[in-house]
Structure 1
């Protein structure tokens, strides 16, 4: 599959407002399809220490028929085993839902603490409450996640450990199943979490040609007709006062069915005069302002 951004033109932008792009009664109405299964979620965080050193921390949650797992990677190479912590929560063979581990990566001393023993899950691999994950970098709290993490961080801070700045810059989600994908996203630190529904309708629903629909908070914001010809493209919407580019690439659904993967991306940007994200990196370490990206990799079963 070609890079999704390489097929998008700088001027191929259509701006719409999620609050007025569709009438209130024209909400997304999915058929009896069951939403696809979320197999894994990878969250990329940018941490800035008091020494001005910056690190990338990737937290990955995964789920398969044999169990669930958690991994933490430090640095810009998530495949590097030397900078990874992997926890298997499979209760049948090996279960380690609580603990801590110390290792070195990117010339820093890393301490990871986690407690998933009382974690609650919905349909995906990422816990919703009853857990914590804390990453300490060079004696600074570089990242903390979960509703139980504040108590752990408070204890650390009482011992004089400073709290570093961190922000979520990218979230990658993998789905398998049919052509209905449901997730949530928070596009800025001060914004609310929005429900996102991506749906591809086809001949089985009485349509002559496939149609791609994207809904945010049950309001239809994007509708792409004749999807087999418009298999790559982009539009821009407003969410929480931010410009959000939505890009799609469903080429392989039609022309490489053996793979069956499609890619959908939401990315915030600073203004109308800024360029779309073409070949730049997800995170520029020199850039103070952190933008957010949500990537959805969707596998359509035959």
Structure 2
């Protein structure tokens, strides 16, 4: 069944969204989770972006496929309004380089647990040429039975994830840094401590980044160290953490802090434990803004060193009063 489905307001055109993504999300106040996968579709290796969007009135799901020039030319949008229960199951299709791509979903029993992205009891399948090239969710058997298609011979790879989260002081998420790893709980919290320094108006903000409940990074005197980066160990993996909270401290209106978690080869990170606060950062990131392009470039260097693609998490933490 092919539905005529409305377009959630949080999904703009590809070019506009890429150019002004944080600003548009901040104005709308909508939680947005974007996951980018690399797989083979329509005869080429392409990036597929799956975006979940949530506000007070609806859940939205968008699937976009990278075009031949590296842009997202092909897009499918699904609007999930609570009073249209039949729209929680269905399919849509679009054409990629002359080949039909079907997006099939079943969210009738999906458990969101108050989050933007479902946790369990659902599937979203992307099908091309009788192959399920990407399958999300835990109801895999139901997805293959519904589509009648075989699994792809190429395993999709999660390349990056962007999360826009709104809160007052603490921001939390769950993430796997590799396909075979386990989920880790990550939280970011900014606290105002009392300071005897009169120049700081009595407040000395402290940033804490926790992994699985343990302090991984603690940054004191945040008004002077609002940008930085540091390497930590998460399980058996090394992770480079970047932060930029300039707008938290000095901005006005809707403002976000940016936190980037970039896995690195084990040989490139010095041994450290997340059981104790890390030492203050000493790098060029403390004196320059965090740029997605710069981090993507760094990620590319890690890819080459490791000989495989690495996952990268971008966490936009939006403070609301």
Q: Structure 2 CA distance, aligned partners of 1:190 and 1:165?
A: 13
Residues 224-245 of structure 1, C-alpha deviation per residue, up to 9 Å, x if partnerless? 0011110000011111321100
SS in 2 for 1:120: coil
Q: Is the 8 A contact 1:214 1:223 kept in 2?
A: yes
The 5 A counterparts of 1:109-148 are 109-148=100-139
Q: Is the 8 A contact 1:141 1:164 kept in 2?
A: no
Q: Is the 8 A contact 1:38 1:173 kept in 2?
A: no
Matched, 1:280 2:297: yes
Q: Corresponding residue for 1:44? A: 36
Q: Structure 1 CA distance, aligned partners of 2:62 and 2:194?
A: 40
The 5 A counterparts of 1:26-105 are 39-48=31-40, 53-75=44-66, 80=72, 82-92=73-83, 96-105=87-96
CA deviation after TM superposition for structure 1 residue 289, in Å:
1.1
Q: Structure 1 segments of 4 or more deviating over 6 A? A: 76-79, 204-207, 281-284
SS in 1 for 2:141: helix
TM-score, structure 1 as length reference: 0.76
RMSD: 3.2
The 5 A counterparts of 1:1-302 are 39-48=31-40, 53-75=44-66, 80=72, 82-92=73-83, 96-105=87-96, 108-153=99-144, 162-203=152-193, 208-273=203-268, 278=295, 280=297, 289-302=308-321
CA deviation after TM superposition for structure 1 residue 136, in Å:
1.2
Q: Structure 2 CA distance, aligned partners of 1:112 and 1:127?
A: 17
Q: Structure 2 CA distance, aligned partners of 1:187 and 1:118?
A: 27
Higher relative contact order structure (alpha carbons within 8 Å, sequence separation ≥ 6): 1
Residues 29-61 of structure 1, C-alpha deviation per residue, up to 9 Å, x if partnerless? xxxxxxxx981211111113695x211111111
Q: Is the 8 A contact 2:162 2:313 kept in 1?
A: yes
Residues 257-297 of structure 1, C-alpha deviation per residue, up to 9 Å, x if partnerless? 224211011010124449x964528679x976120111111
Higher helix share: 2
Instruction: Pick which of 105-114 and 138-147 moved more.
Output: 105-114
Q: Structure 2 CA distance, aligned partners of 1:262 and 1:39?
A: 14
Q: Corresponding residue for 1:30? A: none
CA deviation after TM superposition for structure 1 residue 150, in Å:
3.1
SS in 1 for 2:87: coil
SS in 2 for 1:165: coil
Structure 1: gaps spanning 5 or more residues? 1-36
CA deviation after TM superposition for structure 1 residue 155, in Å:
6.5
CA deviation after TM superposition for structure 1 residue 73, in Å:
0.7
Structure 2: gaps spanning 5 or more residues? 1-28, 197-201, 270-284, 286-293
Residues 82-141 of structure 1, C-alpha deviation per residue, up to 9 Å, x if partnerless? 511111111246861111122113554311110011111112111111110000133322
Q: Is the 8 A contact 2:35 2:162 kept in 1?
A: yes
Corresponding residue pairs, total: 261
